């Protein structure tokens, strides 16, 4: 059996406390990423909307232009901060997500309601950027499934009021280690994304996400463990730290789950870094003991990884 993970790697999830000052958020992220790097982490993950508050009322104000790539430092200070930080830390850096804005002119979707002074329409995305240890951009993932929910008496949130969805599965190669997949928050609820990634050889499914005090206790751990046991790979979910003074209260509890669906490390509610050592033999052990990867009946049901899906590779 060929190992999906070529050699052990230390993963760090930075459960970052963020506020309304973007520059301070970027400075705080830098300090924590460098801390993780000094602890030996070679894959470091930041949370969803790590450079801004999370909320539809905040997305336009904090959004940055990413295309054409690379953007200028004025267009996207976060892009350049992440690129520099990846190079400085010598690690693969998954930059959580940030609000992205794109000028789309007459091709704007129906929910692109904002216009600039010249009347050009703008589209917004919730976008994750991953950089190599050299500072090169490796992949961009626009959140595919928008967080539109309404739980009576608990929470109502409609990302689609402002955001547009991405349209691809994001896989990227880390030459020393293997393939990983990046999704954002609500994406983890849809098992097809994870199944495609795992069947295309990913050893790790990463999901920066900001679950809340309703959905967090219900489903945060459940979904991470479900995607792990479904696919017998590592799963990591990285939350912002909880701030009860903010508009949106993140659940926290960033965690790493192994291919047996065991939680191997987990944060609390506040700002902290959680670490895990990922090893290829754990994937092999899980798949050998319960060999569902070779027992699937694609004569009975379809293999979602075969055709009809969009990816970046």
Q: Is 143 a catalytic residue?
A: yes
CA distance 45 to 276: 12
Catalytic entry in 48, 64, 102, 271: 48
CA distance 55 to 70: 26
Catalytic entry in 100, 102, 185, 238: 185
Q: Is 48 a catalytic residue?
A: yes
Catalytic entry in 64, 122, 143, 221: 143
Taking the CA atoms of 114, 49, 235 and 229 in sequence, report the sign of the dihedral they define.
negative
CA distance 38 to 28: 16
Q: What is the bridge-based pairing of β-strands 170-174 and 155-158?
A: unpaired
Q: Is 38 a catalytic residue?
A: no
- Look at residues 132, 128, 52 and name the one whose alpha carbon lies nearest to residue 85: 132
Whole-number Cα distances in Å, 128 to 79, 92, 251, 302: 10, 13, 20, 30
Instruction: Report the run of H or E that residue 106 belongs to, with start and end.
Output: none
3-state secondary structure of 93: strand
Which sequence positions are flagged as catalytic? 48, 143, 185
């Amino acid at each position: 059996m060929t190992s999906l993970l070529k050699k052990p790697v230390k993963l760090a999830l930075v459960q970052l406390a963020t506020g309304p000052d973007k520059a301070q958020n970027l400075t705080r992220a830098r300090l924590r990423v460098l801390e993780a790097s000094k602890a030996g982490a070679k894959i470091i993950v930041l949370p969803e909307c790590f450079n801004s508050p999370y909320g539809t009322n905040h997305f336009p104000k904090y959004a940055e232009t990413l295309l054409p790539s690379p953007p200028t430092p004025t267009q996207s200070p976060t892009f350049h901060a992440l690129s520099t930080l990846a190079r400085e830390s010598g690690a693969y850096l998954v930059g959580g997500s940030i609000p992205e804005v794109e000028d789309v002119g007459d091709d704007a979707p129906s929910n692109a309601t904002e216009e600039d002074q010249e009347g050009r329409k703008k589209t917004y995305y919730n976008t994750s950027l991953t950089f190599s240890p050299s500072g090169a951009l490796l992949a961009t993932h626009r959140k595919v499934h928008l967080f539109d929910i309404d739980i009576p008496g608990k929470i109502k949130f409609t990302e689609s009021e402002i955001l547009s969805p991405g349209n691809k599965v994001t896989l990227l190669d880390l030459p020393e280690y293997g393939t990983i997949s990046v999704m954002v928050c609500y994406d983890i609820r849809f098992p097809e994304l994870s199944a495609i990634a795992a069947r295309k050889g990913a050893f790790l499914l990463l999901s920066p996400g900001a679950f809340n005090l309703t959905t967090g206790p219900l489903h945060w751990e459940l979904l991470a463990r479900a995607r792990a046991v479904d696919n017998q790979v590592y799963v990591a979910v990285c939350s912002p730290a909880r701030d009860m003074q903010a508009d949106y209260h993140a659940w926290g509890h960033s965690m790493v789950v192994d291919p047996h669906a065991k939680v191997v490390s987990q944060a609390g509610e506040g700002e902290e870094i959680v670490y895990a050592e990922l090893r290829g033999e754990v994937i092999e052990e899980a798949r050998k003991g319960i060999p569902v990867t070779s027992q699937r009946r694609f004569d009975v049901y379809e293999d979602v990884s075969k055709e009809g899906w969009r990816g970046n590779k």
